[in-house]
Structure 1
């Protein structure tokens, strides 16, 4: 790389960085699976405004094989590029490695074979250019190129998309951890919608949920699966957790008082001390509140203690719990500028 560099380049990974990567097969092979992360378009626009030239580089395991035909890759890929182009965003180069790890090729990240020729011919500002991705292979790729590594949250914000499709439910959840409390929620269970709207507004987490479940059978699958996706999305959005407060709230709601303590330290556990006498509040079975928060604790990998100290009106009691959880989440996820590059632990890992 020339020392007389003139151009700033951003080498950006695709799956898990720009778009949601489904954990079932790690393939985006249909338009239905294409979900661009919130914050990506704004982040890419800012890079262009700041004078960066964009390079897309991605490992696509087994591309061109029977299990991953090329045309299945191209449909969502072309749609993503079309959406970005409409926003004035284009990549100068796109590099795709189609090989499997066992192929031991020279072009699969973290190896640099895909970009070697480009690097030799481009006049790169090595001090300001960087690699952005969600995996260790991206970090090693940056090191192999002699460039700095930048995590996606720094470019695109603490956002997440999670899609969960089962025989009982179909759920798509999007959130922005550093939002303003905007929400668009449709779970099919009116009282749960109300509780999640409260959570969004009081945590300042922008939240969009589209859920279809087998409500004719029972509410359980829908409530639990929404808890699972919310926990997963919060975990994704928190990223490496550097700079967060980590620990979480005592919150009154008229005659009710809820106390919630949280630790985002990576160990899941739920303590639930809340008793409801009514079988339902609106269309929400009260026994499912505990299942909902258990699913969140498990998938967020959080230690969560929920204590409803007292209350008379059970609607208010439920509201107190969800509002206290919202405030606890807001405080625990908040970043302290004094510790922005530090993990809130002496162990070195959360």
Structure 2
């Protein structure tokens, strides 16, 4: 489903005219600092569709004739389009505030089509970006989030007396939930929208054999807290976090009194499921590969996050156990992950030291994932089918 940025015009894309609040001459057009650069980056690198929503009080009246508005408005759009910035739709309300039009922000009369088409639009993860309190309230009324932009980052002192009274009577808890960023800097808006993809997900899988809880952030800092009850397996899972930079918390309670089979298997299943749920398939490289030496060992891992499950395993172990993990379970972990994450994994390793061999495999796996999930800043899916 498509996410949207509902973007105000005056005071957001171009500077507000504080004299009569009308941009009725070309001399009054002044673009907000660096707005063109960062709107272009947002549109090309991230996954949002742009829709302009603007109140233009009394447009079409004698005080604000349309022949003074449209040439200037079209010139603004032309400048933006010359930098590859396009708005899918433009909604402009011409009414005065006292008319209480259902189309006037913060009312949502102009925007019902997006709310009613829930199969096409993801309103929950969309944003309204604007400089007025009405833009914040529009976000709340739509059920999305707000980025509140104000010159000099002043979100209260510049209010009119009427706005101050209105603001003081609002439910601040609702506002705090709606407003996700307050800034006067378009670079900060870009960075917030880009890196908010660092979301964390917690996934639990409970069977009669194991109780698995995994918390994962794909775009993290390599932080981990892992306790499976199997020391050497913890050590290997830590390599995934360290070398992929994913933040991973794993806690497993299982029937280790029998053997390690169910714990390793269910960890692979659960880890694969949460990875697949978090995986953002637009704008990633999709493929990853890595070759890594570790003393006498040389390992190679190739990954395709293409939605098809397959494991090719070319690694022989000549000891029954490494640490307290049966060597046959290494294949089983990656097979379980591949099936749940719906990805192809090809693993090849040679060497003498069995500890080095499996550790280098896990490190290669981690580096290959890091490459495959790297953002390519095209917002495209690398598939001729158009989906993964």
Question: Residues 199 and 155 (structure 1 numbering): CA distance in 2 closer, same or farther, change over 3 Å?
Answer: closer
Please state how far the C-alpha of 1:277 moved relative to its aligned partner.
0.8
Q: Tell me if the contact between 2:244 and 2:366 (Cα under 8 Å) persists in the aligned partners.
A: yes
Show the counterpart of 1:316.
Answer: 356
8 Å CA contact 2:106–2:141 kept in 1: the answer is no
Return the index of the structure with the highest Cα Rg.
2
1:349 Cα deviation from its structure 2 partner: 1.3
Counterparts in 2 of 1:256-295, with a 5 A limit?
A: 256-295=297-336
1:5 paired to 2:99? no
Which aligned pairs between 1:8-47 and structure 2 lie closer than 5 A?
Answer: none
Alignment of 1:30-109 (within 5 A): 51=136, 54=140, 90-91=173-174
In the alignment, structure 2 segments of 5+ residues that lack a partner are 1-100, 128-132, 144-170, 178-192
Answer whether contact 2:198 2:220 (CA < 8 A) is retained: no
Q: Give, in angstroms, the shift of residue 2 of structure 1.
A: 3.7
Instruction: Tell whether the 8 Å contact from 1:56 to 1:91 is kept in structure 2 after alignment.
Output: no
1:316 and 1:349 map into 2 onto residues whose CA distance is: 38
User: CA 1:253 to 1:55, structure 2 compared with 1: closer, same or farther past 3 Å?
Assistant: farther
Residue 163 of structure 1 contacts residue 173 of structure 1 at CA under 8 Å; is this kept in 2? Answer: yes
Question: Hey, what's the Cα distance between the residues in 2 that align with 1:89 and 1:173?
Answer: 34
CA distances 1:103-138 after superposition (whole Å, capped 9, x unpaired): xxxxxxxxxxxxxxxxxxxxxxxxxxxxxxxxxxxx
Residue 206 of structure 2 is matched in structure 1 by: 165
Judged with a 3 Å threshold, the aligned counterparts in structure 2 of structure 1 residues 261 and 215 are, in CA distance, closer, same or farther, namely: same
2:384 to 322, 338, 346: 346
State the Cα distance separating 1:157 from its structure 2 match.
Answer: 3.0
| Alpha-carbon distance in structure 2 between the residues aligned to 1:292 and 1:220 | 9
CA distance in 1, matches of 2:334, 2:103: 54
8 Å CA contact retained: 1:158, 1:238:
no
Unpaired segments ≥5 residues, structure 1: 18-39, 44-48, 58-87, 95-151
Residue 265 of structure 1: SS of its match in structure 2? coil
Contact residue 231 and residue 300 of structure 1 kept, 8 A: yes
- Secondary structure of residue in 2 paired with 1:193: helix
**Distance verdict in 2 for CA 1:346–1:285, change over 3 Å:** same
Q: 1:247 aligns with which of 278, 287, 298?
A: 287
Aligned counterparts of 1:55 and 1:281: Cα–Cα separation in 2: 58
Higher mean Cα deviation, 182-191 or 274-283? 274-283
Equivalent residues, number? 225
For residue 202 of structure 1, report the CA deviation from its aligned partner: 0.3
CA RMSD of aligned residues (A): 3.3
TM-score of the pair, normalised by structure 2: 0.53
* Partner in structure 1 of residue 220 of structure 2: 179
**In the alignment, structure 1 residue 190 sits paired with structure 2 residue 231:** yes
Q: CA deviation at 1:158?
A: 4.4
Deviation at 1:313, TM superposition (A): 1.3
Which of 200, 214, 217 does residue 241 from structure 2 map onto? Answer: 200
Quick one: distance in 2 between partners of 1:191 and 1:89?
50
1:69-89 per-position Cα deviation (integer Å, ceiling 9, x unaligned) = xxxxxxxxxxxxxxxxxxx99
The alpha carbon displacement at 1:343 in A equals 0.7
TM-score normalised by length of structure 1: 0.58
CA contact (8 A) 2:218 2:247 kept: yes
The counterpart of 1:330, out of the listed 370, 380, 388, is: 370
- Rounded to whole Å, the distance in 1 between the matches of 2:207 and 2:308 is 26
